[in-house]
Amino acid sequence: MLFLLCSVISAYSQNDKINSKNYCSFYNEEAYTENSDVITRHLSAIIITDIVREEMYKLGFKWLSNPRIIKTETGQYIASICYSDKSNCGFLLEESYDLIPLQESRSIISMNKRESGYDYSEKIVFTDGKYEFVNIKEIPKNLHILKMDNYWYQTSTNKDKSKALVPKEFAYGLLREDVRNFLKDKL
């Protein structure tokens, strides 16, 4: 009985220790085993866009557009998920994932940069079915790439296991924190 009580207390207290610098160490790799009761989910592009817009609005940014197509000084186009025309800043979204989230991914500008050397790539599709890739070596400083790979959480049908997993609320809070950190000197 005492062991069970200590296990439950330990699981509850573990969530208090999760923060933006260590949360990947709480990732439960059982999520990728057959018949696992642990599931990994990521915040959707729609949820991320809504939160970004909400945070920008709360901080006083005006003339918000989502999405916004931006033409760079080199003539290339970038798709922003939310952009303030008045403050001339906004966010891009990278929708790729590592199989297992890595803490190091938080400190790189984009996963695309790690793989290809470009900060940002976009596939442009023409109406005739042809396409081309726009590769941008370095994004403008007034834009920030949010990596969907960072905004994950895990759930389990096992209530005791769930207490030791990164919760959905953490992913929401982390996104809000990242948005605010980028915008703190943009108004």
Domain boundaries, the chain: 2-28+37-183
For residue 8, what pLDDT is reported?
38
Rounded to whole angstroms, the Cα distance separating 18 from 26 reads 8
The one-digit pLDDT tens for each residue of the chain (187 residues) are: 433 333 333 444 455 689 999 999 999 999 988 999 999 999 999 999 999 999 999 999 999 998 999 998 888 889 999 999 999 999 999 998 888 999 999 999 999 999 999 999 988 899 999 999 999 999 999 999 999 999 999 999 999 999 999 999 999 999 999 999 999 988 7
d(CA 93, CA 104) in angstroms, rounded, equals 18
| pLDDT value of residue 97 | 86
pTM of the model: 0.85
DSSP 166: P
The per-residue pLDDT for 10 is 41
- 3-class SS of residue 127: coil
pLDDT at 175: 98
Q: Residues 116, 167: contact at Cβ < 8 Å?
A: no
Q: Which of 130, 60, 52, 119 is nearest to 91 (CA)?
A: 52
Find how far residue 67's CA is from the centre of its chain.
17
143-147 and 89-94 beta bridge pairing: parallel
Among 52, 47, 48, CA closest to 65: 52
